[in-house]
Structure 1
Amino acid sequence: MPQVSAAGTGIDAGAAPWLCDPYSQALSSGRGPLFLRRSDGWMLPLEVERWCGGTDAADESVLERSEGDTLDVGCGPGRMVATLTARGRRALGVDTNPVAVSRAVEGGARAVCSSVFDPLPGEGGWCTALLLDGNIGIGGAPGDLLARVREIVLPGGLLIVEAAAQDVHERVTVQVTDGCGDPGAPFPWARVGLPALRRCAGSSGWTWTEAWHVHGRRFAALRAPR
Structure 2
Amino acid sequence: MSGVREATGVRIGRQADTPRESGTWSNDPYSRALRTGRGPLFLRRADGWLLPLDVERWCAEADAVDLAVLRRCEGAVLDVGCGPGRLVAALGALGRPVLGIDVSAAAVARTNRLGGQALRRSVFESLPGEGRWGTALLIDGNVGIGGEPGALLDRMAQLLDMDGLLIVETAPGPDVDERVRVRVTDARGAVGSPFPWARIGTPALLRLAERAGWRAVDQWAAGGRCFVALRRCDARSANSSAEPPNSAAVTSSQRAG
Question: How does the TM-score come out when normalised to structure 2?
Answer: 0.81
Which among 86, 110, 119 is matched to residue 79 of structure 1? 86
Matching of residues 20-35 of structure 1 within 5 Å: 20-35=27-42
Which among 121, 133, 136 is matched to residue 126 of structure 1? 133
Which among 191, 201, 218 is matched to residue 193 of structure 1? 201
Aligned-pair RMSD on alpha carbons? 1.2
Matched, 1:41 2:48: yes
Matched, 1:55 2:55: no
**Letter of the 1:218 counterpart:** C
> 2:187 & 2:27 partners in 1: Cα distance?
13
- 1:218 matched residue in structure 2: 226
Query: Where is the helix percentage greater, Structure 1 or Structure 2?
Result: 1
> 1:181 & 1:169 partners in 2: Cα distance?
27
> 1:207 & 1:70 partners in 2: Cα distance?
20
Which among 159, 165, 172 is matched to residue 166 of structure 2? 159
Alignment partner of 1:36: what SS?
A: strand
Alignment partner of 2:71: what SS?
A: helix
> 2:38 & 2:231 partners in 1: Cα distance?
35
Matched, 1:177 2:185: yes
Structure 1 residue 58 displacement after superposition: 1.2
**Letter of the 1:69 counterpart:** A
Q: Quick check: which has more Rg, 1 or 2? A: 2
> 1:205 & 1:17 partners in 2: Cα distance?
30
Alignment partner of 2:95: what SS?
A: coil
Alignment partner of 1:99: what SS?
A: helix
Matched, 1:148 2:145: no
Question: How does the TM-score come out when normalised to structure 1?
Answer: 0.92
- 1:97 matched residue in structure 2: 104
Gaps of 5+ in 1: 1-9
Note the alpha carbon deviations across 1:163-191, whole angstroms, 9 max, x for none: 00122000011100003133111111100
**Letter of the 2:181 counterpart:** T
